[in-house]
Amino acid sequence: MLDKLKKYYAKILRIFKRKKQIQLGFYGAVNAGKTTLANRISLDWLGKEVGTVSEIPHETRHVQKVENIVVKTNNGELKMNIVDMPGIATQVDYKHFRDYGLGDDDARERAKEATKGVIEAIKWLDNVDAVLVVMDSAEDPYTQVNVTIIGNLEARGIPTIIVANKIDLPESSPSSIENAFPQHVVVPISAATGENIDKLYEAIQEHLT
């Protein structure tokens, strides 16, 4: 009961305590495109990338932070630090990495780091002001990982936007995400091509600051 009261208190505080610079966390399942999006934003405004992108799952196994990004939109300036999180997963099997050509030792090491990365990402929920939940719009959005992430953000009262990523793919269906999570703002984008990225900046300014 005390925990619940504390969370409600935190929610109320957030309403009155608008920050000039937000700590924006990127959450989502593995391979949803979080690092591609973080790179896109960082390249747009700082001219440098955040991290490496690859097809191998769990490429991002440590939290990656880029500070002091100033985004300019039609509605003014937006100052933020972006925190790219490792993908959340409920299982990590090292044998899966061998399918991508990794040797046994490398695959085991990657799996070990991946499990630590998931824990690190969960711990970071206590340190973010706002969150972009990145979902692959070409996949079924109603997975337990997505439901758990969204549920935690709601319980903590953390302002959230869902990014329906990969709209450049022919099988993309952002409306599936809107139907699955109707209580949240959903912005369809392609982090890979940059399509609609300006709409995302405007949504961040409108809903997360």
**Contact set with another protein (CB under 8 A):** 1, 4, 88-94, 108, 111, 115-116, 118-119, 122, 125, 142, 144, 147-148, 150-152, 154-155, 179-183
Compute the least distance from the CB of residue 176 to another protein, in Å: 11
Q: Which helix (H) or strand (E) holds 81?
A: strand 76-84
C-alpha angle 97-98-100 in degrees, rounded to nearest 5: 70
Compute the least distance from the CB of residue 17 to another protein, in Å: 23
Distance CA 32, CA 28 (A): 6
Q: How are beta strands 130-136 and 185-188 bridged, if at all?
A: unpaired
Residues 6+ apart with CB under 8 A from 57: 30, 31, 87, 89, 96, 97, 114
Taking the least distance from each CB to another protein, the nearer of 79 and 108 is 108
Taking the least distance from each CB to another protein, the nearer of 31 and 196 is 31
Compute the least distance from the CB of residue 183 to another protein, in Å: 6
Compute the least distance from the CB of residue 158 to another protein, in Å: 12
Taking the least distance from each CB to another protein, the nearer of 69 and 145 is 145
Structure tokens at 104: 């046994």
Q: Which amino acid is at 112?
A: K
Taking the least distance from each CB to another protein, the nearer of 68 and 90 is 90
Distance CA 35, CA 33 (A): 6
Closest by Cα among 199, 207, 209, 208 to 73: 199
Q: Which residue has the tokens 């022919």?
A: 170
Taking the least distance from each CB to another protein, the nearer of 43 and 119 is 119
Compute the least distance from the CB of residue 82 to another protein, in Å: 22
